[in-house]
Structure 1
Amino acid sequence: MNPRLKSIIGGSTGNLVEWYDWYAYSAFTLYFAPHFFPAEDRTAQLLSAAAVFAVGFIMRPIGAWIMGVYADRHGRKAGLTLSVTLMCAGSFLIAIIPGYETIGVLAPALLVLARLMQGLSVGGEYGASATYLSEMAGKDRRGFFSSFQYVTLIAGQLVALLVLLVLQSTMSEAALDDWGWRIPFAIGGVLAIVVFRIRRGLAETESFKKSEGPKSGFWTLVTQHPRETATVMLLTAGGTLAFYAYSIYMQKFLVNTSGFDREVASRINAATLFVFMCLQPIAGGLSDKIGRKPLMVAFGILGVLATYPIFATLESVRNPVIAGLLVMAALVIVTGYTSINAVVKAELFPANIRALGVALPYALANTLFGGTAEFVALKFKDAGWERGFYWYVTGMIAVSLVVYLKMRDTRETSRISED
């Protein structure tokens, strides 16, 4: 096998397992929330679980900072290996935590600890994997190959949903509610051990080997690359919020608002995410032909125009096929961001600070807007104005659209010089 292709596959496989572990929490929230957050109504339980999901995001900027610097100074491979170690520990911890009835408030406290560990891991994973895949890809195929960063991110979410569907079909609902929800976290921990071994054997990128300039660090980033840092934050804000709204929160929305049962909502989510995953390399390859900017602008315009109508229509849809088509329309729109966001960010920075430059501003925006998406949506619903969330998503996409319109096309101005 071509060494470059082997490295891209190896890096992508590890990314898949990392994101499976992260998304298993969201996929199984409907089952484990009552064990950690006893409450009288489902919305209150989901709100508590969503708050812990958001807490995990608080650690992502810290993880991005620490491991971004680590990957810039010690290598992309080293950063990838460290991130999967933390993810493994967090998954195993969730799998074994007793419930609230057994250990009281210690149960949600340990759940928070596990998510903090996973937040550190994912914070470093995004920057290291996005940088690694972008640097390993050749100049003419950089958009295509770097899109696999989101292919595997989505695949991780999809595998988590498929595990859920398998357990739903092979276990009684009572058993799944009682203890079956622990199985996916145990699986994730075991897979992370396998990924650790894979990543130890990856080749290092030429960009890292040839990197020159000041040592990577927060001060260097904000003083020498303030424009690029701000650009990454603002172009991420609308894209990451839309992605989490259309994918992660959508499963809960279909149950809690549209009225579908949990199994049907899971199937709709899985089917639409599979198609979404397949679209990523197609759009990434298109960006190698026409540039990155047209795709991001298309996402911005269509996201502003269609987000509110899609969510508002889904409120009253009872046919799963129609619901699936509406969700798919939203995911097709957000593909303009997801397929190329990794390479766009990597192309903005020189190699000596690229991993940190990709990771930290992305993680800050992701924490503020992506990680809080479910919590904000449920808060709006709890307050009796659910449609306020639709306007919120639309507004943030509009902010990012302004950035897309003003920024240069990074395909033409890329700072990744190695081919």
Structure 2
Amino acid sequence: MTDSPVSPTGGHVTETDDDTVPDRARTLFGLGAGNAMEWFDWTVYATFASFFAGQFFNNEDSVSALLSTLAVFAVGFAARPLGGFVFGWVADRKGRQVSMALCLALAAGGSLVIGLSPTYEQIGLGASALLLLARLGQGLAHGGELPAAQTYIAEVAPRKRRGLWSSLIYFSGTCGVLAGTLLGALLSGVLTQEQMYSYGWRVPFILGGVFGLYSLYVRLRMRETEVFLAENDEENSAEPKGRMWDTIKQHPKLLFQVIGMTVGATVLYYVWAISAPSYAISVHGIDPTSALWAGVGAQVLFLISLPLWGMLSDRIGRKPVLFIASGGLLVTSIPLDALLGDQAWQLFLAMSIALLLMGGFSSIAPAIYAEMFPTRIRAVGLGLPYAIAVAAFGGTAPYLQTLFADLGNPSLFLFYAMGLMVITILVLFTLPETRGIDLSSDDVGAHGRRKSAVGAHAGTR
């Protein structure tokens, strides 16, 4: 017997176990490079905002220009749910590979527009409009990238190693974040402040755009997943299963499960992986350079943990790993908050513990989300609720954390985050074990998912 699942049309879906090494390398590189580039763009905007704010808005009031620039950053966040819906629909109707290519083209184009745009002094409000449109496009692309990429990696991965393969999403994304942070540190050390304000800020956007176009070329050579092709063949057959919206209406519970699973994890991810160094600098008075390097060190440990958690989930199951990670984050929230002081080593230790636990959730989330939904709504069913949860809870987490600290009661945010994690843990109890499930099976997302657990054992035969 083989591990090749039987498609709904009766034909065999070729799994990645039978791929050649070059095929796997091209798939993993195309997926990872594009995802890293999008996270790179997301990071460098915030990192270099203070340098280019006066280039796109009236520089007579530098604070107002910076606030306007950050407002455009928020617009990009707000666009993510729409991007999740639009590109999720494209992924489920036209193909995962098509959706990922479109997202990458939009993100790379937006980066080049920002990097090559005329300034406010040259074209006035036109510069502000170009920045807004570019960031809006990148927000749409970022919202569509994750559901399409997560679905793609889950569908091409070998069933027995889907957890390991899914760790590529956050591994590559974190590499993009680290690259943006390190480039910022490098440029600010090599160029003078005047050079950074004049042209240095353009460098990361131009690099991101060029690398994005190369990644687009690689993605265009990637093949569509066999799971999607088998489903698409059936949709075009004499007896189709029904339209996408009919399928979505049959599974409303899954949409709420995605939101419930995401709210706790996304808040703690943005707190510890994204904003912890800046929070430590502004609230605890840690030296900025030391805080940034502490954050880089913790992110490296996070990277190392991701494939290890993925492999563990392939051996013991998804739910045990999720409960270990989520429960660990919940019970350590108060001690880790107390650990933060005015020393960089304290920040490094607290971030490292939090991110090592977060790795258990982040590494296998793409596999779990894909294993929840039927093929025909796998991307759009994930994309919209996931983007809503991230924008509403993850995107506001750094602001709320700083606000409560400024009001003199940081514990309010701590209990807010812990409450959301309790919601996530409660939702986990409603999920079945899906390790090794056949993603082309009708059992995915159906009938209380009793048969899915059986499929998990079949996937390891």
TM-score normalised by structure 1 residue count:
0.90
Further displaced range: 152-161 or 402-411: 402-411
How has the CA–CA distance of structure 1 residues 98 and 298 changed in structure 2, closer, same or farther, with 3 Å as cutoff?
A: farther
Say whether 1:349 aligns with 2:369: no
Does the 8 Å CA contact 2:164/2:308 hold for their aligned counterparts? yes
| Number of the residue aligned with 2:46 | 26
> 1:276: Cα distance to partner?
0.6
| Number of the residue aligned with 1:56 | 76
Q: Which of residues 262, 266, 273 is equivalent to 1:240?
A: 266
> 1:104: Cα distance to partner?
6.5
Question: What is the Cα-based RMSD across aligned positions, in Å?
Answer: 2.7
Say whether 1:408 aligns with 2:408: no
Say whether 1:291 aligns with 2:317: yes
In the alignment, the residues of structure 2 paired with residue 386 and residue 10 of structure 1 have an alpha-carbon distance, to the nearest angstrom, of: 42
> 1:295: Cα distance to partner?
1.6
> 1:97: Cα distance to partner?
4.6
Say whether 1:191 aligns with 2:217: no
> 1:373: Cα distance to partner?
2.1
State the secondary structure of the residue aligned to 1:356.
helix
| Number of the residue aligned with 1:280 | 306
Does the 8 Å CA contact 2:33/2:172 hold for their aligned counterparts? yes
State the secondary structure of the residue aligned to 1:210.
helix
| Number of the residue aligned with 1:168 | 188
Does the 8 Å CA contact 1:99/1:107 hold for their aligned counterparts? yes
How has the CA–CA distance of structure 1 residues 370 and 103 changed in structure 2, closer, same or farther, with 3 Å as cutoff?
A: farther
Q: Which of residues 230, 248, 267 is equivalent to 2:256?
A: 230
In the alignment, the residues of structure 1 paired with residue 276 and residue 65 of structure 2 have an alpha-carbon distance, to the nearest angstrom, of: 17
> 1:283: Cα distance to partner?
0.4
Spell out, residue by residue over 1:34-69, the C-alpha distance to the aligned partner (whole angstroms, 9 max, x if none): 665979998x98776554333212111111111111
Does the 8 Å CA contact 2:54/2:62 hold for their aligned counterparts? no
How has the CA–CA distance of structure 1 residues 262 and 97 changed in structure 2, closer, same or farther, with 3 Å as cutoff?
A: farther
> 1:261: Cα distance to partner?
3.9
| Number of the residue aligned with 1:82 | 102
Whichever residue aligns with residue 412 of structure 2, its letter is: G
Give the count of matched residue pairs.
415
Does the 8 Å CA contact 1:50/1:375 hold for their aligned counterparts? no
Say whether 1:181 aligns with 2:205: no
Alignment of 1:69-218 (within 5 A): 69-97=89-117, 109-211=129-231, 212=234, 214=241, 217=244
Alignment of 1:309-320 (within 5 A): 309-314=335-340, 316-318=341-343, 320=344
In the alignment, the residues of structure 1 paired with residue 358 and residue 61 of structure 2 have an alpha-carbon distance, to the nearest angstrom, of: 36
State the secondary structure of the residue aligned to 2:110.
helix
TM-score normalised by structure 2 residue count:
0.82
How has the CA–CA distance of structure 1 residues 386 and 46 changed in structure 2, closer, same or farther, with 3 Å as cutoff?
A: farther
Further displaced range: 16-25 or 329-338: 16-25
Further displaced range: 128-137 or 33-42: 33-42
How has the CA–CA distance of structure 1 residues 411 and 37 changed in structure 2, closer, same or farther, with 3 Å as cutoff?
A: farther
Spell out, residue by residue over 1:335-372, the C-alpha distance to the aligned partner (whole angstroms, 9 max, x if none): 12101111100001111111112222211111111122
Spell out, residue by residue over 1:113-135, the C-alpha distance to the aligned partner (whole angstroms, 9 max, x if none): 32211111011110111011101
Spell out, residue by residue over 1:74-133, the C-alpha distance to the aligned partner (whole angstroms, 9 max, x if none): 111111110011101211232245666776666555433322111110111101110111
| Number of the residue aligned with 2:451 | none
| Number of the residue aligned with 2:33 | 13
Does the 8 Å CA contact 2:313/2:321 hold for their aligned counterparts? yes
Gaps of 5+ in 2: 1-19, 236-240, 442-454
How has the CA–CA distance of structure 1 residues 30 and 396 changed in structure 2, closer, same or farther, with 3 Å as cutoff?
A: farther
Question: Which is bigger in relative contact order (C-alpha 8 A, separation at least 6)?
Answer: 1
In the alignment, the residues of structure 2 paired with residue 67 and residue 51 of structure 1 have an alpha-carbon distance, to the nearest angstrom, of: 24
Does the 8 Å CA contact 2:150/2:370 hold for their aligned counterparts? yes
In the alignment, the residues of structure 1 paired with residue 109 and residue 180 of structure 2 have an alpha-carbon distance, to the nearest angstrom, of: 18
| Larger radius of gyration between Structure 1 and Structure 2 | 2
Does the 8 Å CA contact 2:339/2:346 hold for their aligned counterparts? no
Further displaced range: 56-65 or 9-18: 9-18
Does the 8 Å CA contact 1:72/1:216 hold for their aligned counterparts? no
Identity between Structure 1 and Structure 2 (%): 35
| Number of the residue aligned with 2:16 | none
Does the 8 Å CA contact 1:237/1:397 hold for their aligned counterparts? yes
| Number of the residue aligned with 2:423 | 399
> 1:202: Cα distance to partner?
0.3
> 1:224: Cα distance to partner?
1.6
